[in-house]
Chains A and B, each alone.
Chain A
Amino acid sequence: MSATSFPSESAAFRGGAREALGVPAAVLGAGFVGYGSLAGEHGYSIAQVVVATAAIWALPGQLILIEMNAVGASALAIIAAVAMSGARFLPMTMTLTPVLRDARYGPGTLYPAAQLVSMTTWAAAMQGSPGIAAAWRVPYFVGFGAACLATSAICAAAGFLLAGALPPLVRLGFVFLAPVYFFVILIGDARTRLAAVALGCGAIAGPLFHLVSPQWSVLGAGFAGGTLAYFLQRMHGRAS
């Protein structure tokens, strides 16, 4: 079995982009159409929808920003919650960097490319990279990630415009897309015990904390539910 090679850097970039513009882009698109609709409903401009998608490039963080802003949380609490929700990127980038590293691409390429790391692009790169010659992995990843991000930004803008143009009843469906998207992803994703326990604790803590303090509920439920889940998991691990 020989690894896939490309005649040039731009061919590798296009190869990655082509790979992204299938199932990955379609699934991301559904989530981001919902995001654009929801953001429009909460007073974003279309430019803000697109820039937030490119700048944050993490749908959970983008949702947290919308919802915490809507309940009037302080800027500091919002930034802390969004940043904390992105902590998953640290281990993801740490594991991806050695896979992609090649002498031709230094920090000047890797650091900007890191912005493209997301759940979708990371999973695809970790899975697909071993089948690609080492020299072409970075441009392939950048092509894949850029296509995902561009599709998502376009879909977010489309969701914004569609929701604004549709009758209220249909708009309701669009605004509901993003929550239901994560509802299905989170339940479908709860395959490891750590994830399942953390999701369960958070799902209970979120609404409870909201009753006490809407502004602090996301952070509070995350820290309390997550820490509880962590210790439950540890106790269970020791006992068995």
Chain B
Amino acid sequence: MDAQADLWWLIGACGLGTYLWRGLGIALSGRLSLDSEWFRWTACVAYAMVAGLIMRIILMPTGMLAATPLEDRLLACAAALVAFYATRRNLFAGVVAGAGTLVALSYLRAAL
């Protein structure tokens, strides 16, 4: 149960860490230029961090996704993008197509 207690603390601390920016934004509104280099840099770091994590999950997943072949996950991502653009940028369609493709491919592999 130690891991569970640790997870509760982590959730709380991560919540606070995220809120700091929101609260600070009110305090600083109108006092700081939004056009600063610092903002551009933090935007780059935040984008890179999320993109890096998502690519890592797709290429080298942990948990049950690790049992799927890499080519299946890449095909599923491609299907998601095709569906997204084919439906005039409907995120919902893209997500369903991506997850559905992965399930279908895994089903076929198990059946064959």
**Chain A contact residues (Cβ within 8 angstroms of B): what range?**
35 or more
Per-position 1/0 for B82-112, Cβ under 8 A of A: 0010000101101110111011001100100
Q: Say if the beta carbon of A130 comes within 8 Å of chain B.
A: no
Q: Say if the beta carbon of A117 comes within 8 Å of chain B.
A: yes
A90-B24, A226-B46 are known contacts. Are A221 and B18 too (CB-CB below 8 A)? Answer: no
A78-B14, A194-B40, A217-B52 are known contacts. Are A88 and B25 too (CB-CB below 8 A)? Answer: no
The smallest C-beta distance from B111 to any residue of chain A, in angstroms, reads 10
A61-B18, A173-B99 are known contacts. Are A26 and B50 too (CB-CB below 8 A)? Answer: no
When the two chains form their complex, are residues B99 and A115 in contact, meaning their CB atoms are under 8 A apart? no
> Which of the listed residues B8, B47, B57, B107 has the most CB atoms from chain A within 10 Å of its own CB?
B47
Contact residues in A for B11 (Cβ distance below 8 Å) = 48, 51-52, 55-56, 65
Contact of B65 among A71, A175, A203, A229 (CB under 8 A): A175
CA distance in complex: A81, B56 (Å): 15
Q: Say if the beta carbon of A185 comes within 8 Å of chain B.
A: yes
| Chain B residue with the shortest CB-CB distance to A217 | B56
Top-7 shortest CB links A-B: A206-B52, A93-B25, A222-B49, A202-B48, A55-B15, A83-B17, A226-B45
Q: Which residues of B contact A (CB under 8 A)?
A: 3-4, 6-15, 17-26, 28-30, 32, 34, 39-65, 68, 73, 76-77, 80-81, 84, 89, 91-92, 94-96, 98-100, 102-103, 106-107, 110
List 15 interface pairs A-B (beta carbons < 8 Å), by A numbering. A52-B15, A63-B57, A79-B14, A79-B17, A80-B17, A88-B46, A90-B21, A114-B22, A186-B50, A198-B51, A205-B52, A225-B45, A226-B48, A226-B49, A227-B41
